[in-house]
Amino acid sequence: MTVKAAAPSNIALVKYMGKDDAKVNQASNPSVSMTLTSLRSVAQVDWVKGSQPTWNPEPPLPGLEVPDLSPKGRERILAHAVRCAKELPGLLLKHGLKNEQPSGHHAEIRIGNSFPAGVGIASSASSFAALTLAMGRAMGGSDFSSLWTGSGLLKQDLARLSKLGSGSSCRSMQGPWIHWDGETIETLPSKIGPVVDHVLVVDREPKAVGSSQAHERVRTSPLWSGRPERALQRCFLVKEALAVGNWAELCRHVWQEAWEMHSLFHTATPPFSYWKPQSVAVLNALEPLVNSSKPPLVTMDAGPNVHVLVPEADAPEWAQRLRDLFPSVELLSDRCGEGAHVL
C-alpha cells in the first residue's frame, strides 16, 4: 500500500533560535510563523518487508526535486521514521485508531520538494511534517484521513511528534498563523487577510553554518542574555498585532526580530554571518519602505535570502516593484495556507 502526504514550509515572524534541550528540540523561546501553500514537500510511504525504515531516492516523485541529503540528513529522516513507528501506535489509539502497520514490514520512504534547495525555504520543516503525516496515515489506515481533516487535537499531537525530528516542522501542520510554545502548537486568531511571501533569492549556495549549529552558537553571544525574554515579549506583541489586524505594527516587530536574530549570529563565538553583499543591499533598500505607512513585512531565516510578505491584494504590484528594485535577483512567491494534508 502506498500513501502520500504533503506539508508546506513556514516562515517565522518570531524566530525559534536557541534550544534548551537539543535532544527533544525544546526551544528556548516561543515562536510565531506563517504557513505557506505550494512551497511544500511530499512524503510517500510504502510498506516493504524488512526490519528498518529505508530511504529510496529513486525514482523521484513526479514533478518534485529529491532533496540532496547528506548521510547525516538521511540518518535524521530515518531516525524520525523509527520514532514515528514507535510513538504512533499509542498516539493513534488515543484518537480511536488501530495500528495497521503490517507485521514484518517497515516503511520505505520517498520525499520530494516542490522547490529547489538553497532558495531560502526551510525544507526540513516541510519534509519532516510531510513524513510525520504520511507515517500517521500509513499506520492509521483509511479512517485516518477523515479524522485528520476534522481533528485539531490530532494535528497538535502530530505536530508535537514532528517537532522531535525538526523543531520548526511542528508549525507546518496547520496554518496560516501558528504559535509554538513548548508543547503547545496552535493556530492564532487573526484579522489580517491572506498574505503572499515574495522571496528574494539572493544566493543559492549551501549554508556554511547549518541551523543545528546556529542554535548552539547563538547561546555564546553576549546578546543571548535576555533573548528568550525579548522573544517572548515580541511574540506577545506580534500575536496582538495579528489579533487586531494591525499590519504596520506587525511589520515593525518582525523587522526588528530579523535583525535581532542575525545580530546573535554576528556576535557569537566565533561570529558568523549568512548575509551576502546583495542581502545587505536589499535590506537597505527596503528599510525606508518598512517604516512607511503601507509597509511590507520583511524577514530573513538563517540564510542570505530576504522574505517580503505583503497583503495578497497588493502582491502583483509588489512583485513588480521588487523586480524593478532588484532586477538581477530571482523572485519566488507563495501564499499563506492551511498546513499539511493527506494526498
- Closest contact distance (angstroms) between CB of 74 and ligand PMV is 16
Sketch the per residue contact string, 268 through 307, with ligand PMV: x for CB under 6 A, - otherwise.
---------------------------------xx-----
Residue 108 or 257: the one with the smaller Cβ distance to ligand PMV is 257
Residue 219 CB burial class (10 angstroms; 0-12, 13-18, ≥19): middle
Is residue 339 near ligand PMV by the rule CB under 6 A?
A: no
Q: Between residues 145 and 233, which has the closer beta carbon with respect to ligand PMV?
A: 233
Can you read off the three cell numbers belonging to residue 180? 509554538
Which of positions 9-68 make contact with ligand PMV (CB under 6 A)? Answer: 12, 15-17, 31
Reduced to 3 states (helix: H, G, I; strand: E, B; else coil), residue 10 is: strand
Nearest distance from C-beta of residue 292 to ligand PMV, angstroms:
26
- The CB-of-102 to ligand PMV minimum distance in angstroms stands at 32
Residue 286 exposed, middle or buried by CB count within 10 Å (0-12, 13-18, 19+): buried
If one asks whether residue 166 binds ligand PMV (CB under 6 A), the answer comes out as yes
Cα–Cα dist 261/234, whole Å? 12
The stretch among 35-43, 68-76, 160-168, 273-281 that binds ligand PMV (CB under 6 A) is 160-168
DSSP type of residue 206 = P
Q: How far is the CB of 209 from ligand PMV (least distance, A)?
A: 11
CB of 240 to ligand PMV, least distance (A): 19
Beta strands in 184-301 (DSSP E): 184-187, 195-201, 297-300
Which residue, 44 or 166, has its beta carbon nearer to ligand PMV? Answer: 166
42 touches 112 (CB < 8 A): yes
Instruction: Provide the minimum distance between the beta carbon of 286 and ligand PMV in the complex, in angstroms, as a whole number.
Output: 19
* Beta carbon of residue 16, minimum distance to ligand PMV (angstroms, whole number): 3
- φ, ψ at 87 (rounded to 5°): -85, -30
CA–CA dist 253, 71 (Å, integer): 38
C-beta closer to ligand PMV: residue 117 or 153: 117
196-235: contacts with ligand PMV (CB under 6 A): 211
Q: Which residues in the 318-337 window bind ligand PMV by CB under 6 A?
A: none
Q: To the nearest whole angstrom, how small is the minimum distance from the Cβ of residue 265 to ligand PMV? A: 10
CA dist., res. 12 & res. 307, Å (int):
10
Q: How many residues bind ligand PMV (CB under 6 A)?
A: 13
The amino acid that residue 262 corresponds to is H
Q: Take residue 128 and report the three cell numbers written for it.
A: 519532516
Q: Is 122 in the site for ligand PMV (CB under 6 A)?
A: yes
DSSP states of 283-320:
HHHHHHHHTSSS--EEEE-SSS-EEEEEEGGGHHHHHH
Q: Would you tell me how many other CB atoms lie within 10 Å of the CB of residue 145?
A: 16
Contacts of 225 (CB under 8 A, 6+ apart): none
Q: Which of 120, 167, 295, 337 binds ligand PMV (CB under 6 A)?
A: 167
Segment contacting ligand PMV by CB under 6 A, of 8-16, 75-83, 182-190, 326-334: 8-16
Q: What is the dihedral of CA 259, 215, 131, 102, to 10 degrees?
A: -160
| Least distance in angstroms from the C-beta of 126 to ligand PMV | 11
> Partners of 311 in the beta sheet?
195
List residues binding ligand PMV (CB under 6 A).
12, 15-17, 31, 122, 124, 166-168, 211, 301-302
